[in-house]
Structure 1
Amino acid sequence: MTTSNVTERPSTEEDPRHPRWVYAHGSEPDPRFTLANERTFLAWARTVLGLLAGAVALHSFQVPDTEHVRTGVIAALVLTATLCTVFAMIRWARVERAMRERRPLPAFSAGFIFAGALLLISVLLGFSLLA
């Protein structure tokens, strides 16, 4: 006995879910895959909260000798958090649509961009601690 993991429900214009450019294509994937995609998005959201908490903590330190470097690190943390949020939303939508259309999942290029940004922030923070 073969059981399909796919609910064959065609997407219609009456589907209330958004964004429509994701949900208006293909058929419903296995709910476990959709929920895993949502958990991954939420993991990225936790990362963003950590970056913002780090920026707030660093802002609360009053180190006069490294004011410009500290401000640069704070700005880099906030910018990275913002970009991470945007990349996470786009990644969620691209993966969801790929699953609905039975296509291969998109490449994980946002992770490498994010890792590069964190490396840059780490170097800046290291210089500020050494100064």
Structure 2
Amino acid sequence: MTATVRLWLSPGRIRGEGTTPDYRFSLANERTFLAWLRTALALIGGGFAVVQFLPELHRSFRTALAALLLASGALCALRAVHHWVRVERAMRRGEDLPLSRFPAVLTAGVVLIAAGTLVAVATGWASR
């Protein structure tokens, strides 16, 4: 894991492994990385939006919801770069692409956050 984290900061080291894959595959890997970053930014934006635009929700719920969204966004960004490195290394080595449970975990988390927010808004759990 530590070696992989080092590659986040110096991706040029990846070139020392295996052979150069078809550039189309590397560019597709980069587009996937950027899609994950957009997801991370959306989660972070959602965290700020909860605090700004749902002031009628109970303060503790609003704070917890914002913290969950912000933490999910940070985790998604970290996972994006980690997955990018793992896929790039696998392509250079001619290995199968790595599988990940993260999309399912992220989906479950977003569904739970959305359901909790829906219940809070529908029941009018206000700060009053």
Which bracket does the TM-score occupy, shorter chain normalised? 0.7 to 0.9
8 A contact 2:44–2:74 mirrored in 1: no
8 A contact 1:26–1:100 mirrored in 2: yes
**Where in structure 1 do 4 or more consecutive aligned residues deviate above 6 Å?**
none
Say how many residue pairs are matched: 114
Equivalents in 2 of 1:121, 1:24: separation in Å? Answer: 42
Show structure 2 runs of 5+ residues with no match.
1-8
* Structure 1 position 126 matched with structure 2 position 118: yes
Aligned to 1:39: 31
Equivalents in 2 of 1:36, 1:119: separation in Å? Answer: 27
Show structure 1 runs of 5+ residues with no match.
1-16
The alpha carbon displacement at 1:120 in A equals: 2.0
Q: TM-score, normalising length from structure 2?
A: 0.81
The alpha carbon displacement at 1:20 in A equals: 5.2
- Of 70, 91, 96, the residue aligned with 2:88 is 96
RMSD between superposed Cα atoms in Å: 1.7
8 A contact 1:59–1:74 mirrored in 2: yes
How many percent of aligned residue pairs carry the same amino acid? 37
8 A contact 1:45–1:85 mirrored in 2: yes
* Cα displacement string for residues 19-56 of structure 1 (whole angstroms, at most 9, x for unaligned residues): 35533210100000000000000011111111111111
* Partner AA of 1:44 in structure 2: W
Q: TM-score, normalising length from structure 1?
A: 0.80
Kindly indicate whether structure 1 or structure 2 has the higher relative contact order, using CA contacts under 8 Å at least 6 residues apart.
2
* Cα displacement string for residues 73-124 of structure 1 (whole angstroms, at most 9, x for unaligned residues): 1000001001101111110000000000000001131111211211221122
